[in-house]
Chain A
Amino acid sequence: MIRAELKRMAEEERQRQERLFCRIMVCAGTPCLSAGALPVLEALREAVAESRLDAGIEAVGTGCMGPCSRGPLVKVRIRGKETVYERVTPELARQILFSVVKGRRPPTVAALPPELPFFARQMKVVLANSGSINPERIEEYAASGGYSALSHALHEMTPEEVCREISTSGLRGRGGAGYPTGVKWNLARKAPGERKYVVANGDEGDPGAYMDRSVMESDPHRVLEGMALAGYAIGAEQGFIYVRGEYYLAGRRLEAAIRDAERKGLLGSRVLGSNFNFRIDIRTGAGAFVCGEETSLMASIMGKRGQPWHRPPYPAQRGLWGSPTLINNVETLAAVPVVIGRGADWFAGVGTARSKGTKVYALSGQVETTGLIEVPMGTTLREVVFEIGGGIPSGKQFKAAQTGGPSGGSIPAEHLDTPLDYESLEAIGTIMGSGGLIIMDETSCMPDVASFFLDFCRDESCGKCVPCRVGTIEMHRLLRRITSGTATMDDLYRLEELCDLVGATSLCGLGMTAPNPVVSTLRYFRAEYEAHIRERRCPAGACSIEPLPPGPEGPELLHAAGAPEEAD
């Protein structure tokens, strides 16, 4: 496919959609599918066929629309005007369709008001197409302007210019560390090497986070286009997208997207008639949190045990099979077509002075509406929780928000007005991380929350280095003693000492950040820890204060599954 053909495909699709009288979109993202979106979509398709209006009405499955706790969601678009319905059943879907067919106003019973702050306060850049295009049709992505950034870059920009554009935009890594993307791209571009690789990190394991999954499910071509742009910029001809094994739907849609893009000449040899060749392959992880760490991820791609190795050398110097490798998070790469398409200055105009653009968050926990949101960097936590999220349910009080998953920390109520950007979050002792945002109300016990995250880290430790392998398990045991009211102040001291050790001496990011939930809850909620220890009570009323059962936590924890271990 050459440039003109891409334009023609986009134009034809736009005209086709304009000819439609009504387009009904059903959210076919994982949360809505598990809430029963598939029968809704089938009911709609049947009803469209029965009404013999297939030419004028189209029912399609799309990616995530946002308010996941209100799913299954259905969006009806009639002549540019959109209405979103929540908790749609197949029966309600049929009613909506028939009222549309008969020219009546669709029922308003389950309709979400258009001025709902959940929608009105967001700014969708990376998620611009999520929930409005069918992720399984390349034509719809092209119609929304897809692949035009790649076409522009290939024909009118040099690789240096693409890198410079990314640098100027101020885009930073959305995987957590916030490393400047332009700097990383330039490092990879300048690194000597015949062969280079681009890797999209789609392994996301934080409890409560699903930003990358939604982007891959809802708009797979955007990720592919971002990867191709990265490949052109650094001189790579091969890309890998590393998808978490649990993300079956994302993997399937990406696979179809790659096939379609290759067929249309948007990937593969001589992309869009240029001299640029780029191939993308999918690698599926088996579901290890540590494989989100870049060196473990590369080990896993190369078919080795998913364990980290020491940096330097950094992947940009020596990565996959010893060649320079550029690793970016899925969300970072998904922002790239926007940066190139709309220009670095436009992108840099959004956000704060040092954190540019928008950020996708997975809002979960004790908040009225949970789901996927995208807001400009610098939006305050209060706006996110109380306006977009609709506040805390059942009239309870906000207690804390955990950002950045197990590697992050908690933000107490006194910091509700903190802008969500890299610097402000760091200043109060937490991180943005990849964008998991768990809201907790007054019934959450902070030592118990810390224990939950430590439990996760302990299970996910790869076992390569001693501080992480044994340190996290000892820390979790101390936390369990605290939450069961059997700890002494000496245990608290030992816990703090272990936090210091594990954070300072672990090999990779998993271990280095494992103590963060403990450190940050101790910083703001130390009194709760002390109440458990000194007064043997849980101020939040969440922990049952009773003596721990004696001895180890049980053989299942310490024994590998299936290993002939027990010696009697």
Chain B
Amino acid sequence: MPVITLSIDDELVSGRADESLLQVIREHGITLPTLCHMEGLSERGGCRLCIVEVEGAARPLPACTTPAREGMVVRTDTERLRRYRRMIVELMLAERNHYCAVCVSIGNCELQRVAAALGVDHVRYEYLSPRLSMDLSHDRFGIDHNRCILCTRCVRVCDEVEGVHTWDISGRGVRSRIIADLNHPWGTSDSCTSCGKCVQVCPTGALFTKGVVVGEMVKDPGMLLRVLEGREKKEWAG
């Protein structure tokens, strides 16, 4: 792949022509907040937290789905972008129930980490507070829709890595819900292999392991890359 040169925050950096802006920016050591992006999964471009300003573009662009191009002039940390990112996190927090104090993922939650990093200390929008259920029908895991931010990492990992597509979304807009199979209780799913990948990639406390205490509910984001790398090297080929 040809090598390209672009400017990120007034510095010239190099990248490959097949990389996304996010990859180039991260390789360059800049932290961009993301919630729906996860290395090893297809890009979704849904959380809009990795937006950057690209010269010549009328609107900020999400770095994860924007291909890096020769000569791009990119800014990752302007006042406007910081304001937008804070507002997006506020909207996420207002959408469902994200009371950290009663969440199993407190201290190990990506949403919490991003909110703290962006300095979101209060939410100015009306909490929608939908009354959502928990599905505890699975033997080992549970899903609490109150904590879900609809990043669909679970849907993608189940489809693209585990290859069973147990998870999907039903409904649209603010009524969107993660469902198992054709909206059946997770525990009755015939397709679910109970591999637990969805639990490991979930950024919040929406998917969790049953029976663990808060301090133990640590997720392992490196799991996905280990699995993919192992497959690449045919480590488990029989």
Contacts and interface: CB of A to CB of B under 8 A. Distances in A.
A196 interface: no
A507 B51 CA distance: 11
A500 to B, nearest CB: 8
B172 A462 contact: yes
Contacts of B59: 503-505, 512
Given A471-B91, A559-B130, A463 B169 contact: yes
Interface string A536-568: 000000000000000010010111111111110
A305 B47 contact: no
A239 interface: no
Contacts of B173: 458-463, 469, 472-473
A385 to B, nearest CB: 32
Interface string A499-543: 001011111000010000000000000000000000000000000
Contacts of A505: 48, 51, 59-60, 84, 88
Interface residues of B, number: 45
A497 B80 CA distance: 12
A519 B60 CA distance: 19
B177 A310 contact: no
A196 to B, nearest CB: 22
B232 interface: no
Interface in B164-204: 169-177, 179, 183, 185
Given A463-B169, A470-B91, A474-B91, A552 B48 contact: no
Tier of interface size on chain A: 35 or more
Given A501-B87, A505-B60, A466 B172 contact: no
A464 interface: yes
A309 interface: yes
Contact of B45 (A309, A458, A462, A472): A309
A29 interface: no
A43 B149 CA distance: 59
A473 B65 contact: no
Interface stretch (B26-34, B120-128, B210-218, B222-230): B120-128
23 contacts: A310-B43, A310-B45, A310-B65, A462-B173, A463-B150, A463-B171, A464-B44, A465-B45, A466-B91, A472-B173, A473-B173, A473-B174, A474-B126, A494-B124, A501-B84, A501-B87, A501-B88, A552-B129, A555-B131, A558-B130, A560-B175, A565-B131, A567-B131
Q: State the 10 A-B residue pairs at the shortest beta-carbon distance, nearest first.
A: A560-B171, A558-B130, A463-B176, A310-B65, A461-B173, A470-B91, A567-B133, A560-B175, A463-B173, A470-B95
Interface of B: 43-48, 51, 59-60, 62, 65-67, 84, 87-88, 91-92, 94-95, 124-126, 128-134, 145, 149-150, 169-177, 179, 183, 185
